[in-house]
Chains A and B, each alone.
Chain A
Amino acid sequence: MDELMLDGNAVAGMLSEVFAVEMTTAAMTCGNCGTSGAVGAMHVFRGAGTVMRCPNCDNAVAKIVKDGTRMWMNFGGMQALEITL
């Protein structure tokens, strides 16, 4: 257990600046262990940037960095993201 850890909900605001749809209810499949779960249930860590980790295996499924005008997102740790339209 890590005191610092937050839920995927914590990045809802940041994601809402980019995505036109609610992201916390989207389903993410981990590229490392294959388990699926809501983005809202991911484990979120704040380091220099933001990291979202699979609650099952801790794999970094997403990394997000922001400056005033740019945002960098890496979803390389994710196998797929499913959004219900």
Chain B
Amino acid sequence: MPPIISRGFRGRRDDAPPGRVPPGQYVTRDFPVLSAGPTPHTQLERWSFTISGEVDEPRRWTWEEFRALPAEEVTTDIHCVTKWSKLDTVWQGVRVDTLLEGIDTSAEYTVAFSDGGYTTNVPLEDLTGGKAWVAFRYGGEPLEPQHGGPARMLVPHLYFWKSAKWVRGLRLTVADEPGFWETNGYHNYGDPWREQRYWGD
């Protein structure tokens, strides 16, 4: 039975500049907080970011070491699989390219892993070439815990569940290892422009 239209209901959506927004998305000015679990509160003194897996030696940065790396400002649109898109969001982060500098690997895939146990898989080539960051500032302020602070992945060309909040590292893998949502219905790759939300899309 088709849904009943409620007279006069429009919802709260902004107008989307044509061509700017992927299919099936609605623009919002809010920043909805969506989470698979309780917000972790990792103390900076105990935080670290690790690159592990298919590498000769794992590489690890403390918060001070991480913040000493070259970082850049990024302005980008983000698209959540739950249908909201947010335009021109401003972040500051370290390019994943920077973190991978000098690392030799035969891995073609990665798994981002976070405090609280969340994981998401992204092909290595989708994190390199200036396409992804580990972000620690949003909207000119330090990234708040509810939005993934102290640091989260920022991979804006894929649906935002691929931008793991509270990220603690990347494991480089030879085989693709579907993560928390990819093992349970969400698309393995997640390109918003091809509307790859769910399995089989």
Contacts and interface: CB of A to CB of B under 8 A. Distances in A.
User: Are A and B interaction partners?
Assistant: yes
B82 interface: yes
Interface in B41-100: 80-82
A65 B185 contact: yes
Interface residues of B, number: 24
B89 to A, nearest CB: 18
B105 interface: no
A60 B37 contact: yes
A48 interface: yes
Nearest to B38: A2
Interface string B154-189: 000001010000000000000000001101111000
Contacts of B198: 65, 67, 70
A65 B36 contact: no
A65 to B, nearest CB: 3
A48 B36 contact: yes
Nearest to A74: B184
B110 to A, nearest CB: 19
A47 B184 CA distance: 13
Contacts of A70: 185, 198
A51 interface: yes
Q: Is the interface of B mostly helix, strand, loop or mixed?
A: loop
Which size class do A's interface residues fall under?
20 to 34
B33 to A, nearest CB: 6
Contacts of B199: 72
A70 B185 CA distance: 9
Nearest to A48: B161
Interface string B104-119: 0000000000001100
B34 interface: yes
A34 interface: no
Given A2-B39, A65-B198, A70-B198, A46 B34 contact: yes
Interface of A: 2-5, 43, 45-49, 51, 53, 58, 60, 63, 65-67, 70-74
Interface of B: 33-39, 80-82, 116-117, 146, 159, 161, 180-181, 183-186, 197-199
20 contacts: A2-B38, A3-B146, A4-B35, A45-B36, A45-B37, A48-B34, A48-B36, A48-B80, A48-B82, A48-B161, A48-B181, A58-B37, A58-B38, A58-B116, A60-B36, A65-B198, A66-B185, A70-B198, A72-B199, A73-B184
